[in-house]
Amino acid sequence: MADLSVPSDQQQPDRRHDRRALAAAWFGILGPAFAWAAQLVLSDAFAEVGCEAGGFSSISPVLVGITVVALGIAAAAGIVAFVQLRKTRGQDDGDVRGQRARFMALCGCMSSGLFIVLIVLGGIVPHLLLSTCSAP
């Protein structure tokens, strides 16, 4: 008869830890992209509403606020990814889960850096360099 092993209580925290680490890795990868997309959509919508209302000066603080929140989310995702990358540094290289976690953490760090640049270029630079609400 085959030997069946019953999971003990000590194996359950490992599953919870794995789920948390996986959720953190996905947040590190996708969080900045979602923050950038939300910033892009909301900023365009509010800028359009502000221009239709006859002026852009009253909507500018809203656009800056949207950009700051998006930057905060992207930076938080980058910090989470960096922490995960530091945690995986000492793991065994032969472990497939460890390699996957390290790769996802590295992708999260790169994703965060890329989308932080995009958020700054799309949310702050146009207000400094371009005139808004110009007639066609």
Q: What is the pLDDT of residues 101-115, one digit of tens each?
A: 889 999 999 999 999
pTM as predicted:
0.78
* CA 106/CA 111 separation, integer angstroms: 9
Count of beta carbons in the 10 Å neighbourhood of residue 8: 7
pLDDT of residue 134: 61
Write down the residue that tokens 């979602």 correspond to.
34
